[in-house]
Structure 1
Amino acid sequence: MLRPGMCLLVGALLAAFLGEAAGTTTCFAGNATYPACSDDTACAGGSCTASVGCYCVDPITQCLPSSNVTCDSSTTPCCPEGLYWFPNQTCCSEELNCDPACVTGKETCGYADGDAVCQCNNTAYLHANRSRIAPTVDCRGDVMTVSISKCLLERFQYSASNMHLLENNRTECSGPSYVDIVNNERILFKQVPLQNGWCGTTFSVQGEKVTYTNALYIPPDFDLPIIISSALNMSFSCTYNMTMQTSLQTVLHPLIGTVTLPAINGTGTAQAIMAAYTNDAFTIPYQVGDELTVGSPVYIGIMTTFTDGDNFTLRAERCVAAPSNASYDTTGVPLITDGCALNQDVNAQYVSNGETLEVRFKMDTFVFQDMPEVYIRCDVRLCKKQTPDVCKCSSSRAGRSGGATASLSIGPLDLSVSIDVNSGSSTVVSSLAVLWSSLLVLLSLRLF
């Protein structure tokens, strides 16, 4: 049987163990310097004010929040200097509290610039190999995401906060995009959009593949008394299958037009992009200076920056080629009607429409008799996927739902080269002159 004194000791140790296991801390009880805000004698009734803190009736003496005096830790510095707020116990403590919690075993909660912050535990990385400092690259969608361990960089005295991409010409090129905990380690992430020239990003094309490349530059920490590492300059890249959109960056002057699509369900907007291609894979864009023969096929692609392909598709309701910019000129040639390519005279055929977030159709080039200009106009919209085939060309408009229609027109198309239409000869004209010889894109938004 345990003696009473031993029982008290065991009870105290058990309570301490249970308290530690439950994540509790010792609240600061207050003293003459920092009395409790609810102490009528020492504080004369204090209060907590947003962005100011907790003070007694006089504006000089700081006080401690108590059960009768609450503190909003999201907007108020609840504790005096040297004490730290524990929201789960609504009290101040002399113990450090990092919120969110530090990585177990890899970090410790420390004091820096008046705040409790997570600091790398150098002991955990004492035997780390320098060769482990290598970025991991995730190639998804329209962005490259490069990541690297924060504490591993600090172990070899690199300045993680001063890392940047190949070109450091704007704010987006510098520092991490965000920080997250992955596999019990704090990781720095840098996101790089697939845009030629963005912070030094370049691309190369090989066959039907396009590769985007950049580099992550990380300098040593020059604030330390001893420099033990040279700057890191680590190249990274992602290779993608060529698409309608990525291929537009492979030429200097692609023939494109853009328009803002109406909002979906009253919120949010997206861009529609229209371009012309020379091949049926829609991966070789036309550009200013190209030549085209009358009667040869031209491939038109329309894509959108809207990303919800699970619930929406892009649909061209109607497309017309006309000698004027009047809305659906009666002398015009319909290319797509009610979502379907119908005109066989110019061999207009739809490849994909209302099935994905891309519209694809082809036509044979032609000119109008004695008409110097040609306009191409397409009405496009985002269409909701409700039932199978509801957005495809065979469905009626009444059975579809989604955003309003945006009218996208390309022109005027100046046919500046003399063409003898009746001679039967095949005449070469420059840069889509049979449909458009100069790229003057008129974008208009017409809601039905």
Structure 2
Amino acid sequence: MRYPEMRLLLGFLIVAHLGEAAGAMTCFAGNATYPLCADEAACGGGSCTATVGCYCEDPPTQCLPTAADGCDSSTNPPTPCCPEGLFWFPDLQCCSEEFYCDPQCSANEVCAFASGQALCQCNNTFYLPANRSHIVPTVDCRSDVMTVSISKCLLERFQYSASNMHLLENNRTECSGVTYVDIVNNERILFKQVPIQNGWCGTTFSLYDGMMTYTNALYIPPDLDRPIIISSALNMSFSCTYNMTMQTSLQTVLRPLIRTVTPPDVNGAGSAQAIMVAYTDEAFTTPYQAGYELTVGSPFYIGIMTTFADGDNFTLRAERCVAAPSNASYDTNGVDLITDGCLLNQDVNTQYVTNGEYLEVRFKMDAFVFQDMPEVYIRCDVRLCKKQTPDVCKCSSS
């Protein structure tokens, strides 16, 4: 989310703030008031403690430490390493007159010194033109996971507790899902990943007109640590919709044999993938390599897989497979191997290993050639089917 009318003001503030730290960071060299702890002549040997900071032994005055003197700003609360007005710089392991955040803050944050260290904090002035209607998550739909994302600082602008955001159903350990923070387009974004699996921590799915939709919801509570609560909790539903039909093809059994086809997204929501591979062995473990020669009549094995993750509710079924002498879509000179999910009793010997039972289709066939044509192409239509019957020749609800 961007607010052009704030650009000039924020640009000036950020440049002014970072101008002092733009050059190389340097250690404060020490003076008569604050000598170096390691300077035996001026300090008589110094050390740091977690409660009082760094002091000389003789005379007992504050001194400037290095890491060797026991300063550790990573403790909680941090050791007060440096005197007032100086800042501990971890990379140089010394006190400096300047501070800056590493890594640098995003466009909607400012670098501030807090809890004894430089931290990136949300800059609420960045969101002055915003209102609560701008709090809208974005959903990325993939075949195995849906990822919902939302601006961390936008939530904090309206005093929501971004760190306590969770799925609506959150009474099991696994419901925490995968949550992480990343910088996207120079803005700090919260991401939560949810597996494509019906029943996983409140995820539901529905079927309609050849489409399947997975739905869950985010719960974002207000920040209850503030003296005044200005926002009500948010319950934000999100979903991903997928087309249940796919098409994949085997390029040729004598050339590169793996081909992946991604059908167009449904309403820009998501897509599933199907991959076809030819194997040399009945264990389906050794793919054919480019240039491998087949003998007519010898067996080979075809596997069709999908990366779609919900194997508890869906299986993969080959609806139609055709072998043809060209790569044209269903060449009229081709031979049907599978129609309506069933093997055809034709001259080409084809046998199922599995179809419509798991998220992988497997079948065996004997190699053949078309008259005066050196290549054979195999193309299949496959479908995700709702699990209701073990009969591979039927797909009761798809």
Tell me the TM-score normalised to structure 2 length. 0.52
Does the 8 Å contact 1:144/1:191 carry over to 2? yes
Distance of 2:202 and 2:283 partners within structure 1: 39
8 Å CA contact 2:277–2:304 kept in 1: the answer is yes
Q: Percent identity?
A: 64
Q: 1:168, 1:199 within 8 Å by CA — same for their partners in 2? A: yes
Q: Cα offset for 1:26?
A: 5.9
Higher relative contact order (CA 8 A, sep 6+): 2
> 1:393 & 1:364 partners in 2: Cα distance?
17
Which of 161, 164, 188 aligns to 2:163? It is 161
| CA offsets 1:128-150 (integer angstroms, 9 cap, x no match) | 12211111111123111111111
Matches within 5 A, 1:27-426: 27-30=27-30, 35-44=35-44, 64=64, 80=81, 84-86=87-89, 91-104=94-107, 106-174=108-176, 177-242=179-244, 313=277, 315=279, 317-318=281-282, 338-340=299-301, 352-353=302-303
Q: CA 1:92–1:354 in structure 2 vs 1: closer, same or farther (change >3 Å)?
A: same
Q: 1:136 to 1:433 in 2, by over 3 A?
A: closer
The Cα shift of 1:102 comes to 1.5
Check whether the contact 1:86–1:93 (CA below 8 A) recurs between aligned residues. yes
Secondary structure at the counterpart of residue 317 of structure 1: coil
**Offset at 1:176?**
7.2
Query: Displacement, 1:240?
Result: 1.2
How many angstroms apart in 2 are the aligned matches of 1:64 and 1:46? 9
Between the aligned partners of 2:156 and 2:64, the Cα distance in structure 1 is 37
Of 70-79 and 164-173, more deviation after overlay is shown by: 70-79
Give the Cα–Cα distance (whole angstroms) in 1 for the partners of residues 306 and 127 of structure 2.
49
Letter in 2 for 1:103: S
Q: Residues 189-229 of structure 1, C-alpha deviation per residue, up to 9 Å, x if partnerless? A: 11111111222111111233211111111111111111111
Q: Judging changes above 3 Å, is the alpha-carbon distance between structure 1 residues 102 and 154 closer, same or farther for their aligned structure 2 residues?
A: same
Query: Aligned partner of 1:239: which letter?
Result: T
Change (3 A) 1:191 1:364: closer
TM superposition shift of 1:313: 4.9
Query: For the structure 1 residues 20 and 317, does the alpha-carbon distance in structure 2 shift closer, same or farther, using more than 3 Å as the test?
Result: same
* Residues 109, 173 of structure 1: alpha-carbon distance in 2 compared, 3 angstrom cutoff: farther
Q: 1:95 to 1:175 in 2, by over 3 A?
A: farther
Tell me what 1:416 maps to: none
Name the CA shift for 1:354/1:231 in 2 (closer, same or farther; >3 Å). closer
CA 1:17 to 1:431, structure 2 compared with 1: closer, same or farther past 3 Å?
A: closer
Cα distance in structure 2, aligned partners of 1:190 and 1:37: 47
Alpha-carbon displacement from aligned partner over 1:37-67 (angstroms, at most 9, x marks no partner): 431224456699xxxx989799x9986456x
Q: Which runs of 5+ in 1 are unaligned?
A: 1-15, 245-306, 321-335, 341-351, 366-375, 379-391, 396-429, 435-448
Counterpart Cα distance in 2 of 1:18 and 1:150: 22
Could you tell me how far apart the structure 2 residues matched to 1:45 and 1:71 are?
12
Q: Distance in 1 between matches of 2:164 and 2:91?
A: 35
| Offset at residue 126 of structure 1 (A) | 2.0
- Asked whether the 8 Å contact 2:43–2:63 carries over to 1, the reply is yes
Larger radius of gyration, structure 1 or 2? 1
Q: Which runs of 5+ in 2 are unaligned?
A: 1-15, 247-272, 285-296, 309-315, 319-337, 344-352, 356-364, 369-387, 393-398
The amino acid that maps onto 1:91 is C
Compared with structure 1, are the counterparts of its residues 394 and 155 closer, same or farther at alpha carbon in structure 2 (3 Å cutoff)?
Answer: same
Give the match's secondary structure for 2:160: coil
1-side partners of 2:17 and 2:234: how far apart? 46
- Alpha-carbon offset, residue 236 of structure 1: 0.7
- Deviation track 1:162-204 (CA, whole Å, cap 9, x = no partner) reads 1111211234534971111222221111111111122211111
User: Cα distance, 1:159 vs. partner?
Assistant: 0.9
Deviations 1:92-112 (A, max 9, x none): 2254432222124x2222344
SS of the residue corresponding to residue 154 of structure 1 reads helix
Structure 2 vs 1, CA of residues 432 and 88 (structure 1 numbering), >3 Å: closer, same or farther?
A: closer
Whole-angstrom distance in 1 between the partners of 2:29 and 2:39: 12
Contact 1:316 1:354 in 2 (8 A): no
